[in-house]
Structure 1
């Protein structure tokens, strides 16, 4: 099993990749994304941030 730090790093990397992909999608989009698409991407990012926050709390203990 991976250490908590390795798992935390994996979540951090996953979040960074998600945000980079979203940024590329925005830059390459000729049309504005619909509000629902923004919301969906934001929800995914928030879920990862919540997981990272939980891991951070766990690592601090």
Structure 2
């Protein structure tokens, strides 16, 4: 069971890397957030939400 949890946590963190990168670039380097970056962040969050939803549905079934 712990292998499944570790794999899930790693996958979750991989999804968050681009979002954290955009936020860090904005906060630390004063980079401008472009429309493409916002769109990419939005799509990443949607993908994360979908994968979480499918994962929770498999556990119930």
1:10–1:59 Cα change, 3 Å: farther
- TM normalised by structure 1 equals 0.60
In the alignment, structure 1 residue 47 sits paired with structure 2 residue 40: no
Name the one with the larger helix percent.
Answer: 2
Task: Provide, for residues 8-33 of structure 1, a one-character-per-residue CA deviation record: whole Å limited to 9, x for no partner.
Answer: 33322223434333321221342421
Relative CO higher for 1 or 2, CA cutoff 8 Å, sep ≥ 6?
A: 1
Runs of 5+ unmatched residues, structure 1:
none
CA RMSD, Structure 1 to Structure 2 (Å): 2.6
Give the total of aligned pairs: 60
1:58–1:17 Cα change, 3 Å: same
